[in-house]
Amino acid sequence: MHIVLDDTAMAAAGQGNVLASRLIHRAHVETGWYLYAPACALVEADRSRPGTAEHLAALPGITILDLDLPAALAVARQNTWAAAHCQYAAQPTPDRPDGAIIATTTPDAWIGEPVRVLDLAPQQP
């Protein structure tokens, strides 16, 4: 299972979101679970909730994805760097032929985008 955390999921993890915490725990203890934090989304998450970047970077189950040249070119074509880097990271690769799922607390923001989404928004009773 390959999951890309968007900026909203990263901020939610630092605020005690149970679903985000479960993902982080699984990525740390279960074989075959991978969590990715694209650098551009990590910056945006830290802007909205200071300290998020340091917190997530210290967790062993999360891989920080650098903004390499192919990612930078993809980001340059989009309006928001955070969303563009997440979308780029979720695309299929030789290591992830099915791509990755984007974890978010704002699933409506991804409507119309060519990605699969995992809703981490707290459910209302």
Residue 92 has pLDDT above 90, yes or no: yes
Taking phi over 0 as left and psi of -120 to 50 as alpha, with beta for the rest, 18 belongs to alpha
Of residues 49, 42, 44, the one with CA closest to residue 64? 42
Q: What is the pLDDT of residues 8-63, one digit of tens each?
A: 999 999 888 899 999 999 999 999 999 999 999 999 999 999 999 999 999 988 99
Burial of 106 (0-12, 13-18, 19+ CB in 10 A): middle
The answer to whether the predicted template modeling score (pTM) of the entire model surpasses 0.85 is yes
Q: Name the amino acid, one letter, at 65.
A: L
Q: What is the pLDDT of residues 22-37, one digit of tens each?
A: 999 999 999 999 999 9
